[in-house]
Structure 1
């Protein structure tokens, strides 16, 4: 069992901080929470699941109020690491399951590759999910000096097995946990979130501070694991939330609480090592939370509409912040538009490096905006457009072509609505005279005054709706075709000593 973290504010009072890092460039840590609900963190008004460590970092950093991700895992991670839009990468249609023989294109340059050229030690812990069919697509071949974690979309939190996601056969159940390019079979029974948290702390404490440090800590939490019990946590955390009567929601709460404790331990390690003073810590979800049993989970995005896998605000408006002693504008909230692809150019700007000019980045440099609260260079966010479904936001307005057959409503999680008297999101009023949003026509919302997407004003602004649709379609016309390929049964663990591997290499790891 991992150690419980002291509240960070107490640690700061107890520990005399000395800057021992000889590197002139700041350390960079990017923490990704998987499938985190918008309202499940305290800094967004959630009051059912305590997240004191995450909240302390957020409230003493810059909270990103208008921050957007892709609607599902693979596209978001690819966008974060490349600074490009998923539609530019051919990753706009779905996620990469472990038996699918494709991945993020090898022609793309990733953030750790840029950072290595700038002298950084680069490490990854946790979930990859960007391709695994040959080793060239896996983390240590994409710029990371080390990787401890899994290559696929999800695993059981204790056994670290994946069931394949696209195959019900027992042939597809196998271990997916790696120590660089070696199968890590010795951790059966260790809880994944704690395991990844401890490895992150070890990397910090053992780091040679003559070099700047980069850590990409991509937690699985609070994504579901595999059946028959996809939501697992240590018993002491389950007991902590015995007051939540719904089993799925209680399990989700326990999983998030473990995650918060690991982030407290991470912060403590930065402080005790002397690295805290010279570190940029970025926290982001990869997409909105899956609610009401969708994707076998019970997050809360209330009062936002929709959830993971939709282009509603509940699917793409993410919980995120940046925390650092290097910020000139801490303890504030940024109301500037930002997209997950902006992190790569923003990080490069923060460390004083320039990006190549021959790459068509979708991301923009937000470092001056974050540092000085000046106008953001980003005016629009194209959420996605594939299969006739998509959305674009420009300024205050969002046009959406919907809908999935379900998850288009508002979901107070198992009757849970935050009781905070000053809610983070104020929805505004419903106008019953306006038409409902349906799949027949694009819908338009004023996201600034109507963040909960109550009122479809497309009929009131037909020219704006037409212009936004044309912009969306033009971006889609220029997009790369989806890289998707069908499942390959040759990948199944039953053929590879019961673990997932780089099955299309001449000599896959066995």
Structure 2
């Protein structure tokens, strides 16, 4: 091989590598806490103002069929592993299976050369017991409040890279989380980064501390509308920071939530008694109580918005099914990584939908009841009990036999049973039963 030809090949390879690196986006992933679709204006919500999120939807892509588990820990377990909760056997609240630690998407993204950071909520362990846990799961740096250890809002208890911060007195937690995210993005603007904002809002204050966490400046805790306003304001702050740093054009923003809106929240403490306030939201002219903790649509159908200027075409509203297991393969594909050989996942990448080159291969979405026991509790593992469902965009089947036509009955008021099926509904039921069978054919222990 001539010296000139060798030089030409080297130049081509180097140019291709640089081009590939430039095509990989920074990613800002925002996971709101306790926010159903009915909260956002872009989904027909009328009780709250969400201008920054509505603008991201207007200038990006909005998914109708984004789904979560009905509560936070099973959602986060699925999100981090790409596998449904029952795959992991018996896992308690605030626990994460050690065998899954090397295979989380932050670890896989970091292997592709990304700097990784998380701020806000963790909940996959008690950080006081295991302060390095986020590092093992792939986050280079973190600022996370101590779940069930201290406040998350006013004068929060925050672990920074494993040590409790001493600079939070007089400060509001969400302000600190956003400030830290901006500092991370600024420090890493010359290389690809993955910033995960695991929001504290719009979850109520921690309810099992004695004495209760301190009230805010108004002599009470934040109301649900106030937290929604804070959520949207902070999204706007992060978008503005990306623009100021010159990073907006090469940053993909994805916003979703861990479960539906709560039916009530703690509004103040009266001594050791916690006073709660009902949460009811108006959407498209109808009133809806929060559906958190339930497998109904209002408990699991969450907002999903993606925005990447110049890459995601504006004004798209899509019907693709996406559930929490899909984020791991999507993030790995977008960052140019590879899934571990032979590893079985429940998730399907929806990167092709985001980039306009195709759609997800997902045929049905899945969710299950929270059957995870509290630490020290004795309850069955996820496979041996609990209500669950599989669904398409139009039809939803529970494992107790109830079938719902979601296009006509999204509040699930008119259950259809096998004894009443005509030939068309029988075929639909059989299709969804086969989906259950496909899930159960892979036991929890065979997930790798």
TM over 0.5: yes
Higher helix share: 2
2:373 aligned partner:
none
- Tell me, yes or no, if the aligned pair for 1:103 and 1:132 is still in contact at 8 Å: no
1:152 aligned partner:
147
Whether 2:274 is the aligned partner of 1:280: answer: no
Structure 1, gaps ≥5 residues long:
1-21, 97-101, 162-175, 239-246, 402-440, 482-510
Return closer, same or farther for 1:278/1:328 CA change in 2, 3 Å cut-off: same
Counterpart pick for 2:233 among 261, 265, 271: 261
Matched length: 389
Local SS of the residue matching 2:120:
strand
TM-score w.r.t. the length of structure 1 is 0.69
Counterpart pick for 2:163 among 170, 173, 182: 182
Question: What is the 5 A alignment of 1:107-256?
Answer: 107-108=100-101, 109-132=103-126, 134-135=129-130, 138-152=133-147, 155-159=150-154, 176-207=157-188, 209-227=189-207, 235=218, 251-256=223-228
- Tell me, yes or no, if the aligned pair for 2:252 and 2:308 is still in contact at 8 Å: yes
1:448 aligned partner:
407
Counterpart pick for 1:349 among 315, 329, 333: 333
Higher strand share: 2
- Tell me, yes or no, if the aligned pair for 2:71 and 2:293 is still in contact at 8 Å: yes
CA offsets per residue over residues 189-238 of structure 1, 9 Å max, x none? 3111122112112222232x331011011011000103587896665xx9
Q: Let me know the Cα RMSD of the aligned residues.
A: 3.0
Question: What is the 5 A alignment of 1:5-20?
Answer: none
Output the CA distance in 2 between the equivalents of 1:296 and 1:373: 46
CA offsets per residue over residues 10-40 of structure 1, 9 Å max, x none? xxxxxxxxxxxx8552101111100013211
Question: What is the 5 A alignment of 1:349-428?
Answer: 349-372=333-356, 374-384=358-368, 386=382, 387-394=385-392, 396-401=394-399
- Tell me, yes or no, if the aligned pair for 1:150 and 1:177 is still in contact at 8 Å: yes
Structure 2, gaps ≥5 residues long:
1-20, 267-275, 370-381
Return closer, same or farther for 1:328/1:215 CA change in 2, 3 Å cut-off: closer
Whether 2:38 is the aligned partner of 1:44: answer: no
Output the CA distance in 2 between the equivalents of 1:296 and 1:310: 19
1:89 aligned partner:
88
CA offsets per residue over residues 364-388 of structure 1, 9 Å max, x none? 0111123227443100112126433
Output the CA distance in 1 between the equivalents of 2:316 and 2:431: 34
Local SS of the residue matching 2:38:
coil
TM-score w.r.t. the length of structure 2 is 0.78
Return closer, same or farther for 1:296/1:348 CA change in 2, 3 Å cut-off: farther
Local SS of the residue matching 1:211:
coil
Local SS of the residue matching 1:74:
helix
Return closer, same or farther for 1:138/1:384 CA change in 2, 3 Å cut-off: same
Local SS of the residue matching 1:39:
helix
